[in-house]
Amino acid sequence: MCGRYVSATSPDQLARFFGVSSLAGMPGDPEDRYVGNYNVAPTQGVFTVYESHGERLLDRFHWGLVPFWAKDPLIGSKMINARAETLAEKHSFKRSFATRRCIIPADGFYEWKKVEGHKRKQPMFLAMIDGSLFAFAGLWEVWTNEHELDDAGEPLQLFSCTIVTCEPNDKIADVHDRMPVMLPPDTWDTWLDRENCDLEALQELLVPSPSGLIRMHPVSTEVNNVRNNGPYLVDEAEPVTSG
């Protein structure tokens, strides 16, 4: 599972890193004024890299996929993650897997580790050893609200996304039984290409990343409260000890 992560890199930097040609729908925000989110939570707007009409774009999507057939967008709160093993089968995800795949950038993410003898779990922060960004595999969808109109008189649309998860690698298995799929750069074109309908080949990309690429350390339980935010949340903290 991936239920909380860090998005500290500015949109302009993300665009350069992922080769994005346009910041779709986002107002300009000078890099020196950009304030990152160190406690990204479900239902918030999250940066998403995707393709449309052959162009690679960066936008903010609602985290929690809302299928096009949904009667209520609140269903998205239950769809923040999608299991890699069943993407082609699940009614909620199979259309997006076939035609609407995306990348969700992250500077790191949190998982909670059980501690023997304690009810509260120890939050852990995970990041790339080399300090680079994670490129989480994701799916996106567009939900249309026929009952509300925008300023142009058209039905309102909600763009939403979900993070694909897979079995954990050896390092993450010590903390959780799932992990986000982390796409290496040489797979980005294949994953984002909306003309690519080879689902078997795409499925082969959805595997655990090597354990040696990831570092992990304990952080303060302040991250448990989504209202807490700031760079201090990723600082290493004294771990809760067993007993």
Q: Which residues are catalytic?
A: 2, 111
The whole-angstrom separation of Cα 29 and Cα 227 is 23
Closest among 70, 8, 48 to 163, alpha carbons compared:
48
**Contact between residue 133 and residue 222 where contact means Cβ atoms under 8 Å apart:** no
**CA proximity to 162, closest of 53, 54, 83:** 83
CB under 8 Å to 31, separation ≥6 — which residues? 10, 12, 13
Residue with tokens 């797979």: 187
Tell me the three state secondary structure of residue 242: coil
Taking CA 161 as the corner, what is the angle to CA 138 and CA 220, rounded to the nearest 5 degrees? Answer: 80
Q: CA 13, CA 113: separation in Å to the nearest integer?
A: 32
Contacts of residue 79, Cβ cutoff 8 Å, sequence gap at least 6: 64, 65, 66, 67, 92, 162
Q: Which residue has the tokens 């680079």?
A: 132
**Residue 21 phi, psi dihedral angles, 5° rounding:** -95, -15
Angle at 124 between CA 128 and CA 227, to 5 degrees: 105
- Copy the structure tokens of residue 1: 């599972």
